[in-house]
């Protein structure tokens, strides 16, 4: 079980990535409503509250929950990248060792048949 039970769709995740470096971002009305339903954003788009008619786009801000989720998201993605680099490094080492042993086998077979 993760620290957050929040699961974002691919489209919502793409929108949320606009907030990775800042607490504010420029969003359209549709993007705002997509993240607002998860309670990640304040109820203000471009200076207008979501109790009234929203403008077609504007700047909005993350709530504290959104900021904590961003920190969690960065930690998870950096851990995944780190694990992926380790996996690639170990696979490369394995293939190099296998190649060297295969070349040694070929040379020893050639030496055996020449004598």
- Residue 110 within any structural domain of the chain: no
Distance between CA atoms of 95 and 99, rounded to whole angstroms? 6
Q: 0.75 cut: is pTM over it? A: no
- Residue 62 within any structural domain of the chain: yes
pLDDT at 2: 53
- Residue 98 within any structural domain of the chain: no
The number of domains in the chain is 1
Q: Tell me how far CA of residue 41 lies from CA of 47, 65, 111, in angstroms.
A: 13, 8, 72
What pLDDT, in 10s, does the model give residues 47-63?
Answer: 777 766 777 888 888 88
What pLDDT, in 10s, does the model give residues 55-87?
Answer: 788 888 888 888 988 888 888 888 888 888 888
Q: Tell me how far CA of residue 45 lies from CA of 19, 56, 100, in angstroms.
A: 15, 9, 61
- Residue 49 within any structural domain of the chain: yes
Q: Determine the Cα angle at 66 with ends 16 and 20, to 5°.
A: 45
């Amino acid at each position: 079980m993760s620290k957050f039970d929040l699961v974002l769709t691919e489209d919502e995740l793409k929108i949320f990535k606009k907030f990775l470096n800042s607490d504010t971002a420029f969003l359209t009305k549709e993007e705002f409503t997509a993240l607002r339903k998860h309670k990640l954003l304040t109820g203000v788009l471009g200076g207008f509250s979501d109790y009234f008619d929203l403008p077609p786009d504007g700047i909005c801000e993350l709530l504290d929950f959104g900021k904590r989720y961003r920190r969690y998201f960065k930690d998870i993605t950096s851990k995944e990248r780190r694990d992926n680099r380790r996996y690639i490094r170990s696979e490369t080492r394995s293939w190099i060792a296998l190649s060297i042993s295969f070349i040694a086998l070929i040379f020893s077979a050639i030496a055996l048949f020449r004598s």
